[in-house]
Amino acid sequence: MQVPLYIIASYLPADNDIGSYRETISELETYVTHYSTLGHVILGGDFNAQIQNRATGSLSISKSRALCEFTKNLSLLPVNYTPLAEGAAYSFTLHENMLDYISINEDILQNITKFKILEESEIQTSDHLPLIMSLVSTCNSKTNEQNHTYSHVTAWHKATYQHTLAYQNRL
């Protein structure tokens, strides 16, 4: 049986507004919950909080708790903290802490063959280290008749949940 794989990239607020952070997590939870009913989900990005609570300061602790609750409620496993993880023990270079994650549903863990946080390099221009994950999967290609091209550029920041569902159905 073929099961779709949905990859969601995210960025959670870095500012000091815990309300905004929780609101963003709630919105993200809606998407992850929806796509989890349709297939497997890989969620990655800069979450601006630490899951393993080494955070200091009440704001950092509040964000960490919110992120931990989010991953627990959705049964997401941060691959960063599995035995597969290699490389640096942090992703944010300024404070050497983990703010970036790739999280999966536990049932696809057996498909992950590698996870690594790459080291800093001379060409790197970000204060976040790159995360790389290798996944074994079977993909089917579509014929040209099934492929759709869109001539307009979607303004995703203006898209509602219904827009996203309509877009998905067109694919």
What are the 10-residue block averages of pLDDT along the chain, 171 residues in total? Answer: 92 92 96 95 96 70 93 95 94 93 93 93 82 84 50 63 75 67
Share of the chain above pLDDT 90, in %: 63
State the Cα–Cα distance between residues 42 and 31, nearest whole angstrom: 12
Torsion-angle region of 58 (φ positive above 0: left; ψ -120 to 50: alpha; else: beta): alpha
**pLDDT of 153:** 54
| Closest listed residue to residue 88, CA positions, set 55, 52, 116, 48 | 116
pLDDT (tens digit per residue) in 74-119: 999 999 999 999 999 999 999 999 999 999 998 899 999 999 999 8
**pLDDT of 74:** 95
**pLDDT of 90:** 93
**pLDDT of 92:** 93
Domains of the chain: 5-140 (3.60.10.10)
